[in-house]
Structure 1
Amino acid sequence: MANLIVNGGRPLNGTLRPNGNKNAVLPMLCATLLTEAQVTLSNVPDITDLAKFIDYFRSIGSEVDYDRAAETLSIKHPAKLTDDAIERLPLRIRSAIMLLAPILLRHGHLRFDVDAKGCALGIREIDPHIAILRTFGAAMAPGDHIDLTLDGRPDAQSIWAEYASVTATETFLLIAAMARGTSVLTNAASEPHVQALCHMLVEMGARIEGIGTSRLSVTGVETLSGATCRVPDDHHEVATFLALGGVSGGRVTVETDILDEMPLILDQFAKLGLQFETAPGAVTVTGWTREVTPPLTAQMTPKIEAAPWPYFPADLLPQAIGVSVGCKGDVMFWNKVYEGAMGWSAELAKFGVRCHLSDPHRLIVFGNNKLKPAEVEAPYIIRVVVGLLIAAIQIDGQSRILNAGPVRRAHPRFIENLTALGADIRWEE
């Protein structure tokens, strides 16, 4: 696993554009299986999971033209899928779970193993996905395997989800887009990447109402057409570059067309003293006061809460924590999405950070820390690597982030972009 060597205390300055959203491009790729016509995507991020999907599609006879430099990808699938489509499923990619609905619709049968250690799809709850497919008429054979059969085009269904799961909402969209009639999902996820999938399906011929809300109504069609769609910019990356620029003492401008997604995100980072200026098509971090905005209720600790969209995203909580280590005041971080997702905070103590993990969901970072460079170890979580980097880049001296490789799964040319802004950072393979 690769490590990052970070020489902190150097201001970052300049302008850059974010990459396409990793969490949008992968379900959009899965949606291409719903048509035999050509689909073209632009603003495609060069991430490792993309390469694995391309390899899978080519292995089942799909025509894939990927221009890495132009960030465009065109794909045309064969008229009929064979058993190879099941046998070659890239099950070790977590996002491969979104292939289930398209393959079941196209092939009529789906089968994979679930052993005593859990699903081959990785640590991800598959029950909501299987439940959705069964609700739409898929029959599940008894046994130790997931063995589903779908006889013909499914009828529309109404589902009230137990919780707003992004990938389960995407599974619903993918099967409802070709169901007979109008399907409704209540308690749907509404993240920007879910909205991107909705817009793509509309471009392909489905009719979807309620995009961006918690209630989606999908009128399916018998045949979906090809489409030309743009993968939206990654709001996580926009916020990440702004945070890195701010804590470094520099001035960084991010050019993007998703400023309408950013107000709450910028407000929460502003609580930590980061200062921003917005202009048409761009946002700039102009400074960092290190002051934490106090609540008007004097008895309360300032806090940043992460929950499903349109709340502050849980995937940006590590970045906010990384900023907070250099603040003058105390801050509580509350992850309402993932249990135990802040256990990595123990690594912050190596930087000299005083913090307290109150329970599996809440972390308090105390202010006025005496920071020092350190060697820290990242878990296999993309955003945690970035959170540790934000801490390291504001500290004079050399730090090392062990096991930093996962950042490549979401942020193409990440280190190259930071180096262009003036960072002294490199890979240690």
Structure 2
Amino acid sequence: MDKFVVRGGNPLLGTIKVSGAKNSALPCMAAAILTEDEVILENIPQVNDIETERKLLTSMGAEVELGYGRAQHRTRIKCAILSDPVAKYEIVKTMRASSLVLGPLIARTGIARVAMPGGCAIGGRPIDLHINGLEAMGATITQDHGYLEARADRLKGAHIVFDKITVTGTEDLLMAATLAEGESVFENCAREPEVTDLAALLIAMGAKIEGAGTGTIRIQGVSKLHGARHRINPDRIEAGTFLIAGAITGGDLNIDCCEPKHLGALISKLEQCGVKIDVGADHVRVRSGGELKAADITTEEYPGFPTDMQAQYMALATQAEGTSTVIENIFENRFMHVQELIRMGANIMISGRTATVRGKTPLQSAAVMCSDLRASASLVLAALVADGETILDRVYHLDRGYEHFEEKLRGVGAQIRRMGDVFGKK
């Protein structure tokens, strides 16, 4: 397994370009199932989850070309024939987004067989919300041997109120409703930018959608969708991770090609911590404002503080003067990075969904274990300010969602390498 070796102590200086959002790209790739025509997606990140999605679509009979050379962040998908509408376990076992093909498959082919999702072990992501919604739209769903099988002659529009806000549930049913008969109204929908990005693609494909980005979405079903070209949003979580990297190292870092309006909650919190932030049209500059100050966070659905930034913020909190309270409201098992931070010298206490971080504490190098995607980023951030060389094991989690993570950090002065590389190599 790959390892990172990180030597702390360098302030990060320069510019980092943000890649496309993995969490937008995955549902947009799934949306290509809805049409026989070609769908072209631009600004696709080169991360392992995208390759897994490519394998998944190809296994179903789709033609998928991931770009190379000058077009390396473009993909062409054509689902003219879906000969095998099955999301096989051996392909999707490492990826939570497998459930995103359930809705479009049954809408397009009338049948779908999908392995229960895998991915990071950060807590339950109930697929019941997907199942209940599709059943309300007329699907018959059974479960056996770890697979869900759904059947319907044609889905019918329905009025669905989500029991809890769900990003993938909103996305999955949104795709299904585009080809359903009649009107669908969804309430208590997720408002994340990834949902609005998917809706923009679907509208470009001929779908009739109103209200994406609000709590209520209306979809008028159509009989057929066509091909389209769409550019994926910048990755707000990658941008946020690098903002914290600049802040925690006391650097001067420009985060380029991002969407600042998607970063509002994080930018506000960093300013409370004493970090200097300059916001441009498509970039954010982060600079040291002196000693970091403690500030509390509570993770919430968008536009609140994102759960995907909680672990990274906790690394920052270890370097802030005072006591910070971190409350995790989205996933029940998202403090697995805490014990690894404690191994590096952090002072953190956990009680239920609340972590109390007392700072500022000097961090020391250690051998640590990455448990999930965002926890991995948190440990890298901590290692950037730790004394000595930290070795991070199981960094394959990072490769699922961050494009060329170590290369981007090296480009702004971080001493980070994969085991076997040499410091200074880019």
TM-score (norm: length of structure 2): 0.92
Q: 2:85 & 2:313 partners in 1: Cα distance?
A: 41
Deviations 1:68-96 (A, max 9, x none): 34211111112x422x2327573323211
1:102 is aligned to 104
- Number of equivalences: 411
Q: 2:114 & 2:296 partners in 1: Cα distance?
A: 43
Alignment of 1:229-268 (within 5 A): 229-268=230-269
Q: 1:255 & 1:121 partners in 2: Cα distance?
A: 32
* Residues 1:408 and 2:409 aligned together: no
Q: 2:64 & 2:389 partners in 1: Cα distance?
A: 43
* Residues 1:176 and 2:177 aligned together: yes
* Residues 1:316 and 2:309 aligned together: yes
2:423 is aligned to none
Q: 1:211 & 1:369 partners in 2: Cα distance?
A: 43
2:412 is aligned to 421
Give the 3 Å change call, closer, same or farther, for CA 402–141 of structure 1 in structure 2. Answer: closer
* Residues 1:283 and 2:284 aligned together: yes
2:192 is aligned to 191
Would you say the 8 A contact 1:97–1:121 is kept in 2? Answer: no
1:58 is aligned to 58
Q: 1:87 & 1:172 partners in 2: Cα distance?
A: 17
TM-score (norm: length of structure 1): 0.91
Q: 2:54 & 2:315 partners in 1: Cα distance?
A: 34
* Residues 1:373 and 2:370 aligned together: no
2:327 is aligned to 334
C-alpha deviation, 1:405, in angstroms:
1.8
Deviations 1:78-120 (A, max 9, x none): 2x422x232757332321111111111222222356xxxxx46
Q: Where does the alignment leave 5 or more consecutive residues of structure 2 unmatched?
A: 421-426
C-alpha deviation, 1:158, in angstroms:
0.4
Give the 3 Å change call, closer, same or farther, for CA 61–339 of structure 1 in structure 2. Answer: closer
Q: 1:378 & 1:408 partners in 2: Cα distance?
A: 12
Q: 1:355 & 1:405 partners in 2: Cα distance?
A: 26
Amino acid at match of 1:345: V
2:375 is aligned to 384
Moved more, 98-107 or 417-426: 98-107
Q: 2:339 & 2:88 partners in 1: Cα distance?
A: 39
* Residues 1:27 and 2:27 aligned together: yes
Q: Secondary structure, in 3 states, of the residue corresponding to 1:262?
A: helix
C-alpha deviation, 1:265, in angstroms:
1.5
Q: 1:219 & 1:395 partners in 2: Cα distance?
A: 54
1:356 is aligned to 349
C-alpha deviation, 1:121, in angstroms:
4.7
Moved more, 4-13 or 250-259: 250-259
Which of 341, 346, 357 matches 2:339? 346
Amino acid at match of 2:366: A
1:164 is aligned to 165
1:216 is aligned to 217
Identity %: 30
1:205 is aligned to 206
1:8 is aligned to 8
Would you say the 8 A contact 1:46–1:68 is kept in 2? Answer: no
C-alpha deviation, 1:148, in angstroms:
2.1
Deviations 1:229-265 (A, max 9, x none): 0010001111111211222222110112511212221
Q: 2:158 & 2:65 partners in 1: Cα distance?
A: 36
Alignment of 1:30-109 (within 5 A): 30-69=30-69, 70=71, 71-78=73-80, 80-82=81-83, 84-86=84-86, 88=88, 90-92=91-93, 93-109=95-111
1:299 is aligned to none
* Residues 1:146 and 2:148 aligned together: yes
Moved more, 415-424 or 69-78: 69-78
Moved more, 207-216 or 122-131: 122-131
Would you say the 8 A contact 2:275–2:289 is kept in 1? Answer: yes
Give the 3 Å change call, closer, same or farther, for CA 401–204 of structure 1 in structure 2. Answer: same
Q: Secondary structure, in 3 states, of the residue corresponding to 2:288?
A: strand
Q: 1:257 & 1:385 partners in 2: Cα distance?
A: 22
Would you say the 8 A contact 1:276–1:283 is kept in 2? Answer: yes
Would you say the 8 A contact 2:67–2:74 is kept in 1? Answer: yes
Would you say the 8 A contact 1:269–1:320 is kept in 2? Answer: no
Would you say the 8 A contact 2:5–2:419 is kept in 1? Answer: yes
Would you say the 8 A contact 1:86–1:110 is kept in 2? Answer: yes
1:116 is aligned to none
Q: Secondary structure, in 3 states, of the residue corresponding to 2:331?
A: coil
Q: 2:346 & 2:142 partners in 1: Cα distance?
A: 53
Q: 1:397 & 1:143 partners in 2: Cα distance?
A: 51
Q: Secondary structure, in 3 states, of the residue corresponding to 2:301?
A: coil
Q: 1:75 & 1:67 partners in 2: Cα distance?
A: 11
Moved more, 191-200 or 391-400: 391-400
